[in-house]
Structure 1
Amino acid sequence: MAASDSGNVWAVGGTFSSTKAEALVLRFDGKRWKKQPLPRVEGRARLNAVATAPDGTVWAVGEIRTPDGTESGLALRWDGRSWKRIALPDRTVSIEKATFGKGEVVLLAQTAGAGPAALRRAGDTWVSLGLPTTVKGRPLSPFDISGHGDTIDVTGVLPGEPPGSTGPGIVLTARR
C-alpha cells in the first residue's frame, strides 16, 4: 500500500483462480475503494508493490508468466488519468519493490542470469544503479528498497554459516 499527497491510498496484488491470475490495483479516494482498469497483459500477472511520488505519479510493479512459461517483469505507471504499461530492460523477470528518489522511480528487480538489480528511470531510459550480486564473496539477497531525497537504500541479507542458515543483514546506500 502507498498513500499520495492528494489523499488517495493505493493497494496492489492480484486475483487468482485455477484458470487465471490478473493484476489488481485498488484506489481509496477517502470514501471508498475502487478497482482500477489496467492495461491488458498476456498471461498470469500479479503486482508486488506500489509507490507514489509527491507529484501524484504512481507506479505498480510485479510480474507476468505467459502461457509458454516465460517470466517477465511488469511495470505500470499512473499518470493521473490512466494506467500505462512501461517497457522494462530485457531479462527482467520480476520486480519486487518500488520507491522514489529525487522524483524518479527506482525498482528492485530480479533479472535472468544476472541476479538482483536496482533500476532507476531517467526520462524514458532505465539505468542500473550497479547493485552488487555478492558482498564479501557471499550472494546478496535484497528484499527492500527505499528512497529519501538523493539517497537510495537497498536492504538485504547474506547467507550465514553453516550453509543454509541466514546470515547478517546488510544495507547498501547509493547517493546522487
Structure 2
Amino acid sequence: MSDPGAAFVAYVNARRSALLRSATLITGDSHTAQDLLQDALIKLAARWERVSDGSPDAYVRRIMFHDNVSRWRRTGREVLVGEVAEGARPLGGSEPPDPGRVVTGLDVRRALAELTDKQRAVLVLRYYDDLSETQIAQTLGVSNGTVKSQAHAALRRLRELLPEAAEALVGSEETP
C-alpha cells in the first residue's frame, strides 16, 4: 500500500481487537482501556510513517503502558464502588475456597487488578500477547532482569489471590 493513511486504517482494523484486549487487561476497566487505546492510536497516527516499517504493535503497547502509569499517578489506584455485592468476599480473604469452584475470567481480571501496573503489564505482554522477555523489556523500557523479577513477583501474588488456580497458572514454578 502506497497511501500511508490507508495503511494506517488497515493496521487499526486488523489489530484493534487484540490491542483493546491488552489495554483492558492492563487497565482492568473496559472504558479506560478504550480511552487508552484511542489515545495511543492517535499518537501512532502522528508517527505512522516512521513507525509503520518497524513494529507498530510494540509502539502502541509502550504508549499504552506509559500512559496508563501516568493516568495512575494522576488519579491514584483507588477504585470506588457504589455497593458491595451480597456474599462478596475480598480477594485472598480468609474464607477457604470451594474445591469444586472454577476460576473464571472475571476472577483472573480481578486478581490482575490487584497487581502493580508494571507487574500487570509484564504478565499481559508475556502470557496474553506472547512476547519474549527481550520484547517486553524493549516495550516497557526496562531491563530483562526487571521483566523476570516483575513476572516472578506477579505470579507469586496471583498464587496468593487465586489459590484454587495456582496449579493451572501458566509458567508457575515451585512456591518459595
Query: Shorter-chain TM-score category?
Result: under 0.3
Structure having the higher helix fraction is 2
TM-score by length of 2: 0.27
